[in-house]
Amino acid sequence: MITSLQRSKQLLFSVGLSLLFGISAASAQLNVKASQQLIQRVIPKHHTHFLVEALPDSKENTFEIESSKGKIVLRGNNGVAVASALYHYLTEFAHCQITWNGTNLNLPASLPKVPAKISKSSPYQYRYYLNYCTFNYSMSWWDWSRWQREIDWMALHGINMPLAITGEEYTWNEVYKDMGFTKKDLDGFFSGPAYFSWFWMGNLDGWGGPLPQSWMDSHKTLQQQILKRERELGMTPVLPAFTGHVPEAFRRKFPNAKLKATNWTNGFADTYILDSEDPLFAEIGKKFLEKQTQLFGTDHLYSADTFNENEPPTDDPAYLSELSKRIYDGMQQADPKAVWVMQGWLFYSDRKFWKAPQIEALLKAVPDDKMILLDLAAEIEPVWKRTDAFYGKPWIWNMLNNFGGNVNLFGRMEGVAANPAKDLSDPKAGQLKGIGLTMEAIEQNPVIYELMMQHTWQKEAIELDSWLAKYARNRYRSTNPKLVEAWQVLRRTVYNGKDIRDGAESIITGRPTFDSTTIWTRTKLNYPPAELLPAWDLLTESAKQGVNSDGFRYDLVDVSRQVLANYALVVQKQWKTAYQKKDKAAFAQYSKDFIELITDLDQLLASRKDFMLGPWLKDARSWGTNAEEKALYEQNARDLITLWGDAESPLHEYSNRQWSGLLNDFYKPRWEQFFQVVTQALEANQKPDLQAFDKKIKAWEWQWVKKQNSFPTTETGNSIQLSLDMHKKYRDRLTKAYRP
């Protein structure tokens, strides 16, 4: 029985959280000040032209816009609705656009009036955002300034359910300290900052560490800032929960605990999972949620993914059902209102294990209203179609699109335009309650993410012809028909979504080889490369005619990059053929052309921060409070995008990037060393010792990871002129290369 004193303490605790995090019984109500501040951040010179007004709570997931008394009135019952109203106005009436890669906020001095009141309602209760991997492939080094821009972007695009796992390491450190674990016990547990996603998912321990206390302290504060802002805008963040991953020291401290060693098989040591049957499982799960709530508050949504890319010990449905039930019970003990949000990735990545009986057993053990499933890559393979719509659970249709932060032009444009609406109206779709973005990394292919979030406020499929014309106008501040024509070419080629799971990389980023592909450098395209050239031509012609917006400069560089990245495979085949024919002169020429192509790409990409290594490393080092920490973070940053692990890592190149600095300092020297070995072999009329080269280059790569040489952090050169120069230099070569 709860005493009156206990009730008073609980009330005081709730009030304290409300003051700290902006949580209250009326959290769904509009925070007018927060919305006004967002408008001021987004359009500082025009914010006074807008008024914010509340809609009744009954109009949740609705916004209104109208002109009244010389002002543009934005209405909603939370900040996300108001921000969405603002973005609707900006895109539909002011022809503006806000993306990660190019923004146009060139508003007229006199803002256009809204001729009649507009009212939009979302058919989706949940608009989910982020993947565990995004927090590292893109967000490893973000500070509050960068997070603030992203939260604004979320709100403008209708996101109301973001994953929020920053600072999780601080919570776990506090929990384990309370349980008597020492710093020494935990030094081998916490990973370096670039590897948290896989540490949190139980795939690895300690790699890239030991983690400094200063990082934990600073990111506790950062998480509090993130959550405060998200909640002020009416979002309901998804926080983490316990899934059984414990430190290796747990074996010594609790020798009778029921532990299972598991291995991710990607070159890392075993991690340890506490069996949910062990009484400690529920105890630790409760401690974690209580500590997390004390630090960060709660919205009762908890992310927990069991066996992420690791198989359970048995496929017995009864075992899996009990496992799931115990995990949820552990959440509920700490929070009776807990709702389990589960990524459906395991059902996609390990379909040999997760057949219908196993999936059904795992899901049905939890009440339908206490679990939400994320169909994590529905645009690639909709899991809902082979699970009877997740056996009655509410679920969210997500687009993944990018893996590893690889730089490429890719997307399933037709499917993304049509399928969310198609599935929403499908009677077999069960409790389809939301849409979302679950990419492994952001800051690429902005068109695909703008397209996906267009669904937020409509039930109908998107008509691509008109949508692309509007997209081009908003992005380029131009109605030049060549720009729309270029997008139709891109639609048919890089964005046709055919043949491959995700975007192709360039052979340039692969570890040197005579093959056209390596384990993580997949060069197969989903279109004949010659068919992309007309888009390059049309954008080049538009540049000559004066188109020069931020988004245009990005797109011109990106398309130029893709064309040249594709061409590298042609040159690779040329020097390979020359080698096979023992033609030393031809090999020398084509290998020289290959190196020159890398140099040219590096120079082109240096003109856009979107494609530069320097800022990534600078941001990593900025978190260090001393030289040792700065070196650790830089090594994390270098390693993730190259080897991923150590010199023998099977994941090398998984997160490869076509970035200025990385091209000239990592990929080019690697190829130069390869060409030197092959040239010497040709001269001696011998076969090159590729095994010896492979061993040597792995050691060289690992030394590069540990270096601390600096790279430019500001753009160099004019992106328009450099793109025109590349077009002039390479266009005729490409015509010859792709001639039938």
What pLDDT sits at residue 167? 97
Q: Residue 186 above 90 pLDDT? A: yes
Q: Smallest Cα–Cα separation from 208: which of 219, 220, 221, 198?
A: 198
DSSP state letters, 424-465: HT-GGG-SEEEEEE--S--SS-HHHHHHHHGGGG-SSPP-HH
Rg (CA), the chain: 26
More confidently predicted of 243 and 678 = 678
Q: Spell 76-100 as b/e; 16+ CB within 10 A means b.
A: bbbbbbbbbbbbbbbbebbbbbbbb
Highest mean pLDDT out of 168-177, 260-269, 498-507 = 168-177
In a domain, 577, yes or no: yes
Domain of residue 44 covers 31-121
Instruction: Give the type of residue at 650.
Output: P
- Give yes or no for residue 14 having a pLDDT over 80: no
Taken in order 423, 425, 431, 436, the sign of the CA dihedral is positive
- In contact, 291 and 166? CB cutoff 8 Å: no
Helix (H, G, I), strand (E, B) or coil at 51: strand
468 vs 555: CA distance, rounded Å: 14
pLDDT of residue 731: 98
Residues 55 and 157 in one domain: no
Rounded to whole angstroms, the Cα distance separating 706 from 194 reads 15
Q: Above 70 in pLDDT, residue 690?
A: yes
Measure Cα distances from 571 to 409, 689, 727 in Å.
Answer: 20, 22, 17
pLDDT of residue 515: 83
3-state secondary structure of 369: helix
CATH number, domain of 137, equals 3.20.20.80
Query: How far apart are alpha carbons 63 and 121 in whole angstroms?
Result: 7
Domain contains 478 = no
* pLDDT one-digit tens code per residue, 283-310: 999 999 999 999 999 999 999 987 766 7
The domain total for the chain is: 4
Residues 108, 166 within the same domain: no
What is the predicted pLDDT for the residue at 350? 84
Closest-CA residue to 153 (of 264, 54, 41) = 41
Does residue 467 fall inside a structural domain?
Answer: no
Q: What percent of the chain has pLDDT over 90?
A: 89
Q: What beta strand segments (E) does 233-300 contain?
A: 239-240, 245-246, 259-262, 271-274
Domain co-membership, 200 together with 339: yes
- 109 and 135 belong to one structural domain: no
Instruction: For residue 422, tell me if it sits in a domain.
Output: yes
Examine residue 186 and state whether it is found in any structural domain, yes or no: yes
pLDDT at 4: 37
* CATH number of domain containing 45: 3.30.379.10
Domain endpoint, select from 462, 494, 519? 462
pLDDT digits (tens, 9 = 90+) for 543-588: 999 999 999 999 999 999 999 999 999 999 999 999 999 999 999 9
Q: Looking at the structure, do residues 107 and 183 belong to the same domain, yes or no?
A: no
Q: Cα–Cα distance between 164 and 153 in angstroms, integer?
A: 15
pLDDT-derived band at 11 (thresholds 50, 70, 90) equals very low
* Nearest by Cα to 134 from 545, 586, 439: 439
Integer Cα distance of 543 and 716 in angstroms:
19
Domain containing 558 — which CATH number?
1.20.120.670
Answer whether residue 16 shows pLDDT above 80: no
- Confidence tier at 119 by pLDDT (50, 70, 90): very high
Quick check: 17 pLDDT over 60? Answer: no
**Rounded Cα–Cα distance for residues 220 and 519 (Å):** 38
**What is the average per-residue pLDDT within 599-607?**
98
Q: Is 322 exposed, middle or buried (0-12, 13-18, 19+ CB in 10 A)?
A: middle
- pLDDT confidence bin for 516, thresholds 50/70/90: low
In a domain, 452, yes or no: yes
| 226 shares a domain with 103 | no
Q: What is the pLDDT of residues 303-351, one digit of tens each?
A: 998 776 677 888 999 999 998 999 899 899 999 999 999 998 888 888 8
Q: Is the pLDDT of residue 24 over 80?
A: no
Indicate whether 476 belongs to any domain. Answer: no
Query: 121, 148, 163 — which closes off a domain?
Result: 121
530 and 566 in a single domain? The answer is yes
Distance CA 738, CA 740 (A): 6
Asked if pLDDT for residue 25 goes beyond 60, the answer is no
Residues 438, 128: contact at Cβ < 8 Å?
A: yes
Among residues 307, 353, 335, the alpha carbon closest in space to that of 14 is found at: 335
Residues 6+ apart with CB under 8 A from 413: 447, 448, 451, 464, 491, 495, 496, 497
pTM listed for this prediction: 0.94
Residue 71, domain member (yes or no): yes
359/381 same-domain check: yes
- Are 312 and 323 spatial neighbours (Cβ–Cβ below 8 Å)? yes
pLDDT digits (tens, 9 = 90+) for 384-429: 999 999 999 999 999 999 999 999 999 999 999 999 999 999 999 9
Residues 81 and 147 in one domain: no
Tell me: do 3 and 53 sit in the same domain.
no
Examine the domain organization and report whether 427 and 544 are in the same domain: no
8-state DSSP, 433: E
62 and 203 in a single domain? The answer is: no
